[in-house]
Amino acid sequence: MTEEKIFTAEEIVNSFKDEFKIKIIDIKIKKRSAGVKKNETSYIWMKIDKGAFKDIIKHLCALQFPHLAIISGNDLGNSIELIYHFTLNFGHPRSETILNISVDLPKSNPEIESICDLIPGALITEREKQEFLGVKIIGIPDDRRLFLPEDFPEGIYPWRRDETGPDKLYRNLHEVKK
Amino acid sequence: MNKTSVTKSTYQIPIGPIHPALKEPVFFEFELDGEKIVDVDVKLGHVHRAIEWASRKRNPVQILYLAERICGICSYCHPIAFSLAVESAADIQVPERAEYLRVIHGELERICSHILWAGVAAHEIGFDTVLYLTWQIREKALDLTEYLTGNRVTKGITMIGGVRRDITQDMIPKIQESLKYFKDNFEKLRGIFLDDKTFKMRSQNCGILTKENALKLCAVGPTTRASGVKKDVRVDTSYFAYGDLDINYITPDILTGKVNGDVYDRIIVRLLEVKQSIDLIEQCLDKMPAGPIVAEPKIAKLLAQLKKTNGEGVGRHEAPRGEVIHYVKLDGVNEAPYTWKVRAPTYNNILPWIPMLKGNQIADIPIVAASTDPCMSCTNRIAIIKDGNRFELNKEELHRLSVEKTRRLML
């Protein structure tokens, strides 16, 4: 790998704004300092439109191949929010930037494209999101369950807060049919 | 075997989910051609305890103690990553002295964990005298942990906005005495692990992970650094007091001049990190400023502040096995966080196992699987199904195969 350019948080933000304009719903930079020297670390929080999701990840990979730390998810009532936590600029002391890309999926159609073709390391976390949040990852190379046992009931998603949540599993254990 | 034969030349062996050599259960299914591994599949979830779900009924201070119980070895890095995430969400500034104390506890945990790993690795290849030697050294590290925190395993030292116990002036001689003990023994360990013929035979050119694969599969910690990827949260970002300290990436080329990405390189990285940790603790003791150790000592006031907070944050820390990241969302209504997502380093080091194990032999499984220092476990019983006959290999049998390979190589 050749020596890569270091992008500042502002440069990353501008790059996305220029390329995708209104597809970026909200973007903000948060800085936290630590220690006696008060060196700063930048956190970018970006909310994007679902339609441009794959193109935004492609743009990111072209900018610099990122490290995907994890995808986390929230059940927000009417929609499911997925947050992709990336880090950029690693390998250069004290210049790493954390990029959090958030995308809302409506509960009526919770589908999103897989990014395994761009970042193969996303497989484990995508499989986890499928079984825990009930989102459908389109084009995932391996859609088996990962953490949940094989006899866990279908249609129950442990991190949901609605009727598909795990509540009935622990309230009326005797009624659960496997 | 006759290659024109229509029968399948490979067979599968399931390994796991229980194996006492590693710490927690995991299930492997190996596709084998004779002794050679052709393909690997991993199944997880045998110890999924719904910890994130359990947090929905707890306030952030109670979650610290829940997070501590995610893992017995990383009992510091999980609560501290959770604290960092909450502090980021609620914009709490940690006092400078507490930042230094957090480094000391983090590095002490790294010493404990890496030395424990060194013992397990030696045991996996049948070098049990080294297991006893390393764990004897680790005992001293645990004694120091107990002296500083009051506990040996679940330390109970973390608090949101700081730490719970200070290191006073009269405690420093005992810390220095322990550090001297680690340094003296470090040279001994270095000789055994890096120059001994047995270790070299079993670990060189075994379980190779290329730099390209490490990047693509998002590997973290010593596993990725041994493949030449410079990635260490302590150096990359500025958190705790790491920004003030003299610290650099540890990759195997520092010692050998080249990167192979094999098990031997992972041993080099972990050993040099033990030395780095000793050095970091010494730097902290030197530079530590005076002052308070926690941002808000009144817990009720802290909880009231967090209850009103509406925001989200991520906390990242370099645990002994690699980057640990926690995501926390506080909704400003409930005391319990709306969402808490834990990502331990082994989670990202599962996929890299597959290229590492492919092409190796059955007898290499224990050492290669152990070389990422997985925080979950492997084998207790193997069943080999060949030509419709079922042979059961237990953990002792697998261990015996590994020891026999070492003996064979020594002839």
Q: Cβ of A85 under 8 Å from any chain B Cβ?
A: yes
Reply yes or no on domain B51-347 having CATH 3.40.50.720: no
Q: Please, which residues have CB within 8 angstroms of residue B156's CB and are 6 or more apart in sequence? A: B65, B68, B149, B150, B164
pLDDT at residue B394, as a whole number: 61
Query: Which two tokens mark B109?
Result: 């945990």
Strands B310-319 and B322-331 come out as antiparallel
Average pLDDT, chain A: 88
pLDDT at residue A2, as a whole number: 44
With CB atoms and an 8 Å threshold, state whether B325 touches A74. no
Q: Which residue of A31, A57, A67, A83 to mutate against B (max B Cβ within 10 Å)?
A: A67
Query: Which pairs from B379-384 meet CB under 8 Å and 24+ separation?
Result: B379/B15, B379/B16, B379/B18, B379/B19, B379/B21, B379/B28, B380/B16, B380/B17, B380/B18, B380/B19, B380/B20, B381/B18, B382/B13, B382/B14, B382/B15, B383/B13, B383/B14, B384/B11, B384/B13
Q: What is the pLDDT of residues B226-241, one digit of tens each?
A: 999 999 999 999 888 9
Sign (positive/negative) of CA torsion B66, B375, A115, B39? negative
With CB atoms and an 8 Å threshold, state whether A74 touches B236. no
- B239: which chain A residues are within 8 Å (Cβ-Cβ)? 32, 34, 41
Q: Could you tell me the maximum CA-CA distance found in chain B, to the nearest angstrom? A: 77
Q: Which residue of B218, B250, B280, B353 to mutate against A (max A Cβ within 10 Å)?
A: B218
Map tokens 């000592």 to a residue: B297
Nearest CA in chain B to A149: B45
pLDDT at residue B6, as a whole number: 55
The ipTM of this complex is 0.92
From the CA of A18, how many Å to the nearest CA of chain B?
Answer: 26
pLDDT at residue B22, as a whole number: 54
Domain boundaries, chain B: 11-47+380-410, 51-347
With CB atoms and an 8 Å threshold, state whether B241 touches A34. yes
pLDDT at residue B34, as a whole number: 83
As a whole number of angstroms, the distance between CA B43 and CA A145 comes to 9
pLDDT at residue B13, as a whole number: 79
Q: What is the pLDDT of residues A53-108, one digit of tens each?
A: 999 999 999 999 999 999 999 999 899 999 999 999 988 888 899 999 999 999 99
Map tokens 């880090």 to a residue: A87
DSSP helix/strand/coil, A127: helix
With CB atoms and an 8 Å threshold, state whether A34 touches B48. no
B312 has a pLDDT exceeding 90: yes
pLDDT at residue B57, as a whole number: 86
Q: What is the pLDDT of residues B373-391, one digit of tens each?
A: 776 422 222 333 344 444 5
As a whole number of angstroms, the distance between CA A66 and CA A139 comes to 21
Domains assigned to chain A: 9-145 (3.30.460.80)
Of B16-30, B64-78, B115-129, give the lowest mean pLDDT range.
Answer: B16-30
A156 has a pLDDT exceeding 60: yes
pLDDT at residue A34, as a whole number: 86
Q: Which residue of B84, B238, B354 to mutate against A (max A Cβ within 10 Å)?
A: B238
Strands A39-48 and A97-106 come out as parallel
C-alpha separations of B44 from B176, B355, B392 in Å: 42, 18, 22
- B347: which chain A residues are within 8 Å (Cβ-Cβ)? 70, 124-125
The percentage of chain B sitting over the pLDDT mark of 90, rounded to a whole number, equals: 51
Task: pLDDT band for B87, please (50, 70, 90 cuts).
Answer: very high
Of A109-113, A171-175, B181-185, B384-388, give the lowest mean pLDDT range.
Answer: B384-388
The percentage of chain B sitting over the pLDDT mark of 70, rounded to a whole number, equals: 90
Q: Please, which residues have CB within 8 angstroms of residue B22's CB and are 6 or more apart in sequence? A: B120, B369, B370, B374, B376, B377, B378
Query: Which pairs from B6-12 meet CB under 8 Å and 24+ separation?
Result: B9/B33, B10/B38, B11/B384, B11/B385, B11/B386, B12/B385
**Nearest residue, CB atoms, B314 vs list A36, A43, A89:** A43
With CB atoms and an 8 Å threshold, state whether A121 touches B216. yes
Q: What is the pLDDT of residues A21-65, one digit of tens each?
A: 888 899 999 999 888 888 889 999 999 999 999 999 999 999 999
- A69: which chain B residues are within 8 Å (Cβ-Cβ)? 218, 316, 323, 325, 343, 348
B16 has a pLDDT exceeding 90: no
Average pLDDT, chain B: 85
As a whole number of angstroms, the distance between CA B135 and CA B254 comes to 27
As a whole number of angstroms, the distance between CA A20 and CA A31 comes to 24
Of B71-80, B108-117, B303-312, give the lowest mean pLDDT range.
Answer: B71-80
From the CA of B404, how many Å to the nearest CA of chain A?
Answer: 34
Task: pLDDT band for B49, please (50, 70, 90 cuts).
Answer: confident
Q: What is the pLDDT of residues B152-161, one digit of tens each?
A: 888 999 999 9
With CB atoms and an 8 Å threshold, state whether A90 touches B348. no
Q: Which residue of B91, B211, B234, B237 to mutate against A (max A Cβ within 10 Å)?
A: B237
From the CA of A69, how many Å to the nearest CA of chain B?
Answer: 7
With CB atoms and an 8 Å threshold, state whether A41 touches B327. no
Closest CA to B246 of B292, B192, B284: B284
As a whole number of angstroms, the distance between CA B272 and CA B186 comes to 9
With CB atoms and an 8 Å threshold, state whether A90 touches B325. no
Q: What is the DSSP letter of B263?
A: H
How many C-beta atoms surround the C-beta of residue B287 within 10 A? Answer: 14
A110 has a pLDDT exceeding 60: yes
How many C-beta atoms surround the C-beta of residue B255 within 10 A? Answer: 15
With CB atoms and an 8 Å threshold, state whether B242 touches A35. yes
